[in-house]
Chains A and B, each alone.
Chain A
């Protein structure tokens, strides 16, 4: 009897040890190829699974594009693995790229990071210009160039772009005695960002109590710089943000608006800012199409239809994503086919209709999905043409590897301080110190 118990115990210990060991081995062996996505990549039941790594809500799934592709290609399954914030997604992606392991079949890259990826990781990614069915001329030229290396390799295909307009609350504008028709509102500040600040002063003199003209200093400086051809780097790749007069001018104009109390003391995409959308605390916001989705996300139902979109003082771009195919992925050929299909003009137009992600393929700008599109927040206004104009007017911007860091320094450690009572000079010094410390290797 005792012997039997003992052997039983021994067997149990052995089993436990074996399963532990197996677990450890399994943990090491498949080096994160399936990386948290719940379905394994590779073959499953005769089907090829393409794993897609995204950040935020990019809307492919919501727009039904995966389902459509799976229908067109019965042997394909698509598994999406999305990380909420790019700030968390990008370092992990960079890590996987530098070690060349753990990469999914398709990886999205945000425009603020594309220069760094293009400059430092191009050898780990497929040249998408060589994939069959890819036609360079379908994309906005500058969008195509952003993901192209010096020696002519294109590592990612553009999905959306962020042509910028100004969204404004018609009800607040009316109360402040400003025009409400988009064309007239656009005229208030056409051609010059300083006129936007002037309009802000007009707004402030008769504004409803407790409201601000604009949502945040960060949003304003981002918008102004988005319309500049050169901002932080010159064409040769040198950091020029400190000496570029355009950057200082944008900073000073934003600081001026902050000193005059025209912008709310908030940081975008943070809880306080989110609540200020819900509480109708500001009248305007620099507005790429995707921003309408953000506004919708935080607004109370009664805000629907009260917004309108007017042209920005100057055409500019804010945001946009690229899809890349890592060479070490399991299904490189299939992934390339999929990305080519997903970024084709027809699919981009469908995405705009559902998700308001604005296409980077100009041929879509005359498609009914774009020209006829309306948005829940802006009521009957046809928003497509305004954004299409902005996209065409946007300059071919020089983007550099550390754009994100410099922009973040200027906003989060710079202009925001002016709304807290610092002088523009102090805020500039603080931003420059922070940025330089981060750029210094």
Chain B
């Protein structure tokens, strides 16, 4: 009898050579099913695991982002007080319609806009200039770059309190310095424009370094050859900046503009702490009350949750409009380049 492999008797269970695959159809079938199962599991894994990985953010977002957003929207349609948040009175859109003739709201909106402009424009221009300077080869450049971030790392409360002292009318250092050169003391807290400039100064001081680093990072990504060839063509430093650096930075500039605009529309801490009354009214005549402050005042000082929610949603709509405008501009820019 031939001793062919396939007809040979299978080795005894626990035999010396168990390495061979089992040949009987039952165990083959088992193996196939096992592989199928594994492959299905693998496929499920490929398909669903990413969702599991990103879910922590979205679960948190639903709990702490989406729910408050919806709840705020719901509350904005009611008359509801912080002292009894479950006691809601349906008033429809009244909280929104009253915003139209709420002079405090429009005053705050105007202040937000002017403070936003006074703080954002010089801030970005300065950041651009400083980044350009830091982009040169200099000694201890890392030190200067890190130092730029120091104001950003400072607590907003500490910074504002120091600025309040600096801008003090009677005993402030700035008025003292102005007095030295023969300029009359300025009432930084009570004059409309001076107070807004003072608040903007705090914002500029805090955020310039942050934007500088963003610009610097973008500048370092510009290929050196461009500058070399520009230099060969006889372009001086200034021309290089205008014709090489700026065009290459366009997306970065747009990014900083968007971020700064959003930041400016939510300015809150600086005017709150700058207020001589440490209240939420932004000065005795609301001269530097921003929308953020007004919202806080309605919600947490006056306890009108419904009104505050309506203001929050109106601000949200403003931001969406700003976002759309930004999107349109950036598309134009991309099309033109």
Residue positions of A touching B, CB distance < 8 A: 85, 87, 91, 94-95, 98-99, 116, 120-121, 267, 269-272, 275-276, 279, 405, 408, 412-413, 416-417, 420, 430, 433-434, 437-441
Known: A420-B284, A441-B79. A272 touches B170 (CB 8 A): yes
Known: A270-B277, A434-B281. A276 touches B302 (CB 8 A): no
Known: A272-B170, A272-B171. A441 touches B284 (CB 8 A): no
B279 adjacent to chain A (CB < 8 Å): yes
Known: A412-B281, A441-B307. A272 touches B168 (CB 8 A): yes
- The residue that B104 contacts in the complex, of A94, A98, A269, A437, with Cβ under 8 A, is A437
A91 to B85, CA, bound (A): 14
- The residue that B82 contacts in the complex, of A94, A434, A437, with Cβ under 8 A, is A94
A269 to B81, CA, bound (A): 29
Which residues in A have their C-beta under 8 angstroms from that of B307?
441
**How far does the Cβ of A33 sit from chain B's closest Cβ, in whole Å?**
21
Instruction: List 13 additional contacts besides A270-B278, A413-B281; criterion CB under 8 Å.
Output: A87-B279, A271-B165, A271-B168, A272-B168, A279-B171, A413-B284, A417-B284, A417-B285, A420-B187, A420-B284, A430-B284, A437-B102, A438-B297
**How far does the Cβ of B80 sit from chain A's closest Cβ, in whole Å?**
9
Known: A272-B169, A439-B302. A120 touches B83 (CB 8 A): yes
Of all chain A residues, the one with the shortest Cβ separation from B298 is A438
Known: A405-B301, A420-B190. A121 touches B285 (CB 8 A): no
A112 to B277, CA, bound (A): 17
Most chain A CB neighbours (cut-off 10 Å) among B164, B169, B303, B306: B303
Are A412 and B284 interface neighbours, CB within 8 A? yes
How many residues of chain B have a CB within 8 Å of chain A? 34
A438 to B102, CA, bound (A): 12
Please, what's the 1-or-0 string for B158-172, where 1 marks a CB less than 8 Å from any CB in chain A?
A: 000000110011110
- The residue that B170 contacts in the complex, of A121, A275, A438, with Cβ under 8 A, is A275
Of all chain B residues, the one with the shortest Cβ separation from A409 is B281
Residue positions of B touching A, CB distance < 8 A: 79, 81-85, 102-104, 164-165, 168-171, 187, 190, 276-279, 281, 284-286, 297-298, 300-304, 306-307
- The residue that B279 contacts in the complex, of A95, A412, A420, A437, with Cβ under 8 A, is A412
Secondary structure of the A contact surface, majority rule:
helix
Of all chain A residues, the one with the shortest Cβ separation from B297 is A438
Which residues in B have their C-beta under 8 angstroms from that of A271?
164-165, 168
Which residues in B have their C-beta under 8 angstroms from that of A121?
83
Of all chain A residues, the one with the shortest Cβ separation from B190 is A420
**How far does the Cβ of A416 sit from chain B's closest Cβ, in whole Å?**
5
The 6 closest A-B pairs by CB, nearest first: A438-B302, A412-B277, A120-B83, A275-B171, A91-B300, A416-B284
**How far does the Cβ of B104 sit from chain A's closest Cβ, in whole Å?**
6
A416 to B278, CA, bound (A): 14
Most chain B CB neighbours (cut-off 10 Å) among A99, A272, A420, A441: A441
Which residues in B have their C-beta under 8 angstroms from that of A439?
302
Some 25 contacts from A to B, beta carbons below 8 A apart, are: A85-B278, A87-B278, A87-B279, A91-B301, A95-B82, A98-B82, A98-B83, A98-B85, A116-B83, A267-B276, A267-B277, A269-B278, A270-B278, A272-B276, A275-B170, A276-B170, A279-B171, A408-B279, A413-B285, A420-B187, A420-B284, A430-B285, A434-B281, A437-B102, A441-B81
